[in-house]
Amino acid sequence: MQNTYQELATLLASDPGRRRIPALACPEALAGAAKALARARRVALFSGFYIGQAAAWETDGPLGTLVLAATLSQLNIEPIIFTDEGAVDIFAAGMQALDIQTPLLGFAAGVAPADEHLLRLQPDAIIAIERCGQARDGKYYNASGLDVAAHVAHFDPLFAAAKSQGIPSIAIGDGGNEIGFGACLPEVEQLLGPRKQIACVTPVDYLIACGVSNWGGYALAALIAWERRSHLLIDQAMLIDTLEQIVAAGAIDGLSGRNTATVDGLPLTIELDMFRKLTSVLPSRTTHVVGETN
């Protein structure tokens, strides 16, 4: 399996946006995150990235979150989605497209929810996927350096609360300004260079850097299905339909700012091709059981 984790990490490190951050992708984080999720009974997922210039939430993040949530549900692991009040319609549309029946919680902008909102749910793991995180100066920056703190719920303290309770934490991001990148802050600041003020200082146990954050969600979904001796039920047609539904509900391309069924300014073919690659590299369970050890 080590070779498979390495192959997945290499795919995730693809950097079509030339952000440099995907260079931090590593197989160890993938392995640790997948195992933590596969052992869980309940998982809290945090997502939704607000694009200030467009006053809307982007397509990167929700799509990977929804694929992962659907797979968790398939495996009888309860997902609970945390997002901003303004992004609830987007996630609800995607949940309907994938027939996900699970709690969807929206939180007010500009403030941190009380720890109890998370801890009373007793999750076995938490994961942030493309979720804006707090910088050194306390602000929440998008990739352009715009402070969007007044427009998003502040979920960082919930990750600190989880750590205090020994709950494993995972994060997926592609820009360095998302929750989780505090796990390797010096490296992130070096890669960001003159833009280092946007770097998030909130750490997690397992940080998965990617060229596009959705990709990390796809990879983890495939991995936990494999860990549970199952397989991914979502195909490319379902992925396209889900993307179209969240766009119809108001999601935008985070780079172009347009209400189109694309992600991070890239042709849809790139997203679909990466989904195919990430979900098809795992060995058959028969091969694994006979010839490899975990």
* pLDDT (tens digit per residue) in 87-101: 999 999 999 999 999
Range from 3-7, 123-127, 163-167, 188-192 carrying the lowest mean pLDDT: 3-7
pLDDT above 90 as % of the chain: 89
- Listed residue (136, 119, 138, 72) closest to 100, CA to CA: 72
pLDDT of 42 over the 90 cut: yes
What predicted TM-score, i.e. pTM, was given to this entire model?
0.95
pLDDT of 281 over the 80 cut: yes
**If pLDDT is split at 50, 70 and 90, which confidence band does 266 have?**
very high
